[in-house]
A and B are shown apart, each in its own frame.
Chain A
Amino acid sequence: MVSDSIPTAPIPSAANTKNLGKKKRTNRSAKLKQCKIDARREQWLSQGAVKNKGYKDGGDDNHAPPMHARKDGKRSLEELEMRPTGEENDGSIHQDSDLESPSYSPTSVNSSLLGGNNSGTHFTASSSSSSSAGCCSGNITGLDDWEAVADALAADEKHQNLCSETLPEHKTVVQMVSSCEMEYGSNLGTRESKPESALLISPASGNSRAWRPDDAFRPQSLPNLSKQLSLPNPDRHCGGGITWARTAPPYSCPICCEDLDLTDSSFIPCPCGFRLCLFCHKRIIEDDGRCPGCRKPYKCESIETEARMLGGSLTLRLARCCSMIERS
């Protein structure tokens, strides 16, 4: 059958990825230990540095699991595109069984053993991983842009090819993946809004292990992430969705990195619009009293107290007007 031939292909590669991932992590700790600055410098200076750097990039980051998941997803996405889309829906039901286990490979091996009896099971499993992987990246950045779907698919396809080609040399893959992940996140984000299957998946895949780092935050983070994309947030990052999710909903204070609460987030102490938490603002007032955003001194004590007392957006708007008037 068709399904018999297809499932055999991804299994070894998935196992490969897993093993390589382990190797990477052990290497990483060894690497970190001997990371004398001079050594690094020499490395960097020599031409081979590029590879090593990518190597380290992958190893150092704590989002290795999602990367694997995504890689797997990308691979199987390739399969998905060769299939009729209807199968994606079937797969969505079974997707947990596939991704739930941290070791992707044993499960698939099992199911391939079963494949003799029940080829349909494995079939759905492999396709499901792809759909949920799409969902994964979708949750990292929630873009509801239909036009980008095509781009995402195209980019994905290209990337897959690259991935599958370079899989043996995991260094390059890792580097590539980590550098492209940002782009992926935003592109793939579109997929999440596409099929109903993906929507169905998202609550279920909260349990799956592939999501472990950010699963708790995923539902809430969705709407905020797109917002954050437009902000010049230093948090913007190219890794897995871990920190995205953590800082997404409140948008933390850029000075102390604590989350902004409601009062803080409606507090605009300077006409330049630079926000910070009240605590940092107080510390700055006591220190040199200049806005971190524009380095102009915070002029208006009265406004600040007013804002603190009332805290509403109306007052704040008034405060801003006041400060404009005062300044001009």
Chain B
Amino acid sequence: MQASRARLFKEFKEVQRERSADPDIQLVCDDSNIFKWTALIKGPSETPYEGGVFQLAFAVPEQYPLQPPQVRFLTKIFHPNVHFKTGEICLDILKNAWSPAWTLQSVCRAIIALMAHPEPDSPLNCDSGNLLRSGDVRGYQSMARMYTRLAAMPKKG
């Protein structure tokens, strides 16, 4: 557990330094608990999530980095691989394909990539997955855009 702490501390310092390096990701560590992190990611451009800012919650296990962090969306998102209610993310690198060489920052990047490239064949959100699988890209996109507007953009007025 000492190793995970050291590693997280280093990641923390790295995040502090490179905050300007990746403008799409803001990674913030909890004030009192280094095992709790929050990330804000920008929806990738040319996707229905463009213009939205999505909040992610990281729960880092004691065995980190041997075990992957648990990540979920706190912001509602309409995406085949994200559970609509819980925000759970179906992403291989957060499950069996995890590697200790990944960092929280790179997980954020992977999630942004997942947002741009949904995998409708292993859906957590069946509605979204079915839209894509049936070829209704437009339907998926308009739904996703609607929820981005509703949940991930500032309220107007």
Q: Which residues of A contact B (CB under 8 A)?
A: 35, 37, 40-42, 44-46, 53-54, 56-57, 60-62, 175, 178-179, 234-235, 237-239, 243, 254-258, 274, 280, 283-284, 287-288, 290, 292-293, 295
What class of interface size applies to chain B in its complex with A? 20 to 34
Residue in A41, A56, A293, A295 whose CB lies within 8 Å of B40: A41
Residues of chain A contacted by B97 (CB below 8 angstroms): 295
Complex-state Cα separation, A255 to B98, whole angstroms: 13
Is the Cβ of A255 less than 8 Å from the Cβ of B7? yes
Q: Tell me whether B3 and A234 are in contact (CB under 8 A).
A: no
Chain A residues within an 8 Å CB radius of B28: 35, 37, 40
Can you offer 23 A-B residue contacts whose CB atoms are under 8 A?
A37-B28, A37-B38, A41-B53, A45-B53, A46-B154, A60-B16, A60-B19, A62-B16, A175-B20, A237-B17, A238-B17, A243-B13, A254-B101, A255-B7, A256-B7, A258-B3, A258-B6, A280-B100, A283-B66, A287-B63, A287-B66, A292-B100, A295-B99
CA distance A45 to B26 in the complex (A): 12
Contacts of B65 in A (CB 8 A): 255
The answer to whether B121 has its CB under 8 Å from any CB of chain A is no
Chain B hits for A46, CB < 8 A: 154
CB-CB under 8 A from A290, the residues of chain B are: 99
Contact A57 B20 (CB under 8 A): yes
Q: Quick check: A178 and B99 within 8 Å, CB to CB?
A: no
Bound Cα distance from A175 to B20, whole angstroms: 8
B18 adjacent to A274 (CB under 8 Å): no
A54-B20, A179-B20, A293-B101 are contacts. A234–B14 as well, Cβ < 8 Å? yes
B101 with A255: CB separation less than 8 A = yes
The reply on B153 being an interface residue by CB < 8 A is yes
Asked if residues A257 and B20 are in contact (CB atoms below 8 Å), the reply is: no
- Are B6 and A239 in touch, CB under 8 angstroms? no
Q: Contact check, A256 vs B6: say whether CB atoms are below 8 A apart.
A: yes
Q: Which residues in B have their C-beta under 8 angstroms from that of A57?
A: 19-20
Whether, in the assembled complex, B103 has its beta carbon less than 8 Å from a beta carbon of chain A, the answer is: yes
Chain A residue nearest to B75 (CB atoms) is: A41
Contact of A257 among B6, B21, B53 (CB under 8 A): B6
Residues of B1-40 contacting chain A, CB below 8 A: 3, 6-7, 9-10, 13-14, 16-21, 26, 28, 38, 40
B55 adjacent to chain A (CB < 8 Å): yes
Q: Hey, which chain A residues are within 8 Å of B9, CB to CB? A: 257
A residues in contact with B21, CB < 8 Å? 179, 238
Minimum Cβ distance to chain B for residue A146 (Å) = 28
B residues in contact with A255, CB < 8 Å: 3, 7, 65-66, 100-101
**CB neighbours of B14 from chain A (8 A):** 234-235, 237
Looking across the interface, which residue of chain B has its beta carbon closest to that of A62? B16
Interface residues in B91-115 by Cβ distance below 8 A to A read: 97, 99-101, 103
- Smallest CB separation, A181 vs chain B (Å): 10
The 6 A-B residue pairs with the shortest CB-CB distance, nearest first, are A292-B101, A256-B3, A237-B17, A292-B100, A257-B10, A292-B99
Q: Are B16 and A61 in contact (CB under 8 A)?
A: yes
Do A178 and B26 have beta carbons less than 8 Å apart? no
A235 to B154, CA, bound (A): 35
Q: How long is the Cα–Cα vector from A179 to B7 in the complex, in angstroms?
A: 24
